[in-house]
Amino acid sequence: MAAARFTRLVADIGGTNARFALLSEGSETPQQESTLQCADFADLAAAAAAYLASQSNPPVKEAAVAVATPITSDRIKLTNNDWTFSVEQTRTMLGLDRLVMVNDFTALALSLPLLSSNEYRQVGGGSPVANTPIALIGAGTGLGVSGLVPAGDGWIPIQGEGGHTAFSPTTPREIEVLRVMWQTYDHVSTERLASGPGLVALRDSLAAIDGAAAPPLAPEDIARCGRDGTDAICREALEMFCGILGSAAANLCVTLGARNGVYIGGGIVPSLGDWFDRSPFRARFEHKGRFRSYVAAVPTYVITARNPALRGVARAFIPL
C-alpha cells in the first residue's frame, strides 16, 4: 500500500498551545497530530518548521492556520501570547503557495457539524431546533466566541471577538469582584474572568475581598482545589467562573437566536468533567428573567472531542 501523500498543513494556534496536523491528498481528516508549546518558539514560522521537521519534512504547499486573535491585515498579533508575524512573510519562509488564516473559534465552529454524538455531552435540558443558529463559547487562555448561521444546505461561520464584551455582574459578590478588577483595568471584559487567567483573577480578587492570604496558584491548581473542595476560596472562584460562563453563554444564545444549541469548547470546561454538569453554569444560563423559558428550551453541550478545531481548519481551504 502506497504511503499517504501529504499536501496540506493545518494548525490551531492558541495563547499557550500550537497544534499541527497534515492532510493527505483529497482528504479533510487531520493526521499526524502534534501539540507544541508556543513559548518554545519565536513565531508561527519557527513552530511550523519544527513540526514539519518532526514529520520528515513532507511536501506541503498549502496551509490553513487558526489563530486566537482578530485577522484584520497581513500583520498578526496574538492576543494572549507574544507572537507577531506577517502572513506573507510566513508563507514565503515556509515555501508555501498558499497560506489561509482564520480565527480560532471560527475554525472550531466549522467543526461542529462534523462532530459525532460521542464527541460532546449535553448539560441540562432542552432540544435543538433545526434550521436555527448554533452558538459556540469556550474558555482557555482567553475566551472564544463564535457560531454558525444556517445558509441553504450549509453554514456561515461568525468571525467575531465576543470574549471582549464588557463583564456584567449578576450577584453582589460579583459586583465586589468587579470593583477589585477596576483597580487594575478601566474596561473589564468577560475574558478577564472567564478564562484561565480569569480564574486566577477571580481567586485573587475573592481573597483580597475577604482579607485572606493568596499564595500564587496556576489556573489548573485553582480548578483542582475547587473541584475537590480543599480550598474554600478556590471552590468559590471555580463556581463563580462557571456562573459567569453560563451568563455569557445565555447572552450569546439570545443574541444569535441560537435555538439549535450552545456548544462549550476551550481547554478548561472539558477538563472539569462531570463536576461542571453540577456547577452553577446551567442555572445561570437559564437565569434570564422574561426570557427564562426561551433559554431553558435551548440545549447546552460540552465538546469532548480531541482537537476538533483542526477539522474545522481543514474546511477553511473552501472559501467562507
Whether 1 maps to a domain, the answer reads: no
Whether 74 maps to a domain, the answer reads: yes
Look up the CATH number of the domain holding residue 78.
Answer: 3.30.420.40
Whether 108 maps to a domain, the answer reads: no
Euclidean distance between the first and the last CA atom of the chain, given in angstroms as a whole number: 35
What local confidence, expressed as pLDDT, does residue 156 receive?
93
pLDDT in tens, 12-35: 998 889 999 999 887 888 999 999
Q: Which region among 1-10, 139-148, 156-165, 302-311 has the lowest average model confidence (pLDDT)?
A: 1-10
For the chain, what is the domain count? 2
Using the predicted structure, report yes or no on whether residue 7 has a pLDDT greater than 90.
no
- 29 lies in the same domain as 65: yes
- 24 lies in the same domain as 137: no
pLDDT in tens, 52-91: 999 999 999 999 999 988 899 999 999 888 899 999 999 9
Using the predicted structure, report yes or no on whether residue 205 has a pLDDT greater than 70.
yes
Using the predicted structure, report yes or no on whether residue 165 has a pLDDT greater than 70.
yes
For the chain, give the mean pLDDT: 94
Whether 111 maps to a domain, the answer reads: no
Q: Which domain holds residue 43?
A: 6-103+308-315
What local confidence, expressed as pLDDT, does residue 1 receive?
38
- 53 lies in the same domain as 95: yes
- 152 lies in the same domain as 262: yes
- 272 lies in the same domain as 128: yes
What local confidence, expressed as pLDDT, does residue 70 receive?
87
- 56 lies in the same domain as 17: yes
- 235 lies in the same domain as 267: yes
More confident residue, 124 or 7: 124
- 95 lies in the same domain as 153: no
- 216 lies in the same domain as 260: yes
- 152 lies in the same domain as 209: yes
- 197 lies in the same domain as 240: yes
The residues, ordered by sequence, that sit 6+ positions from 277 with a Cβ below 8 Å of its Cβ are 121, 123, 302
Whether 110 maps to a domain, the answer reads: no
Whether 216 maps to a domain, the answer reads: yes
Whether 109 maps to a domain, the answer reads: no
- 182 lies in the same domain as 289: yes
Look up the CATH number of the domain holding residue 258.
Answer: 3.40.367.20
pLDDT in tens, 237-295: 999 999 999 999 999 999 999 999 999 999 999 999 999 999 999 999 999 999 999 99
Whether 138 maps to a domain, the answer reads: yes
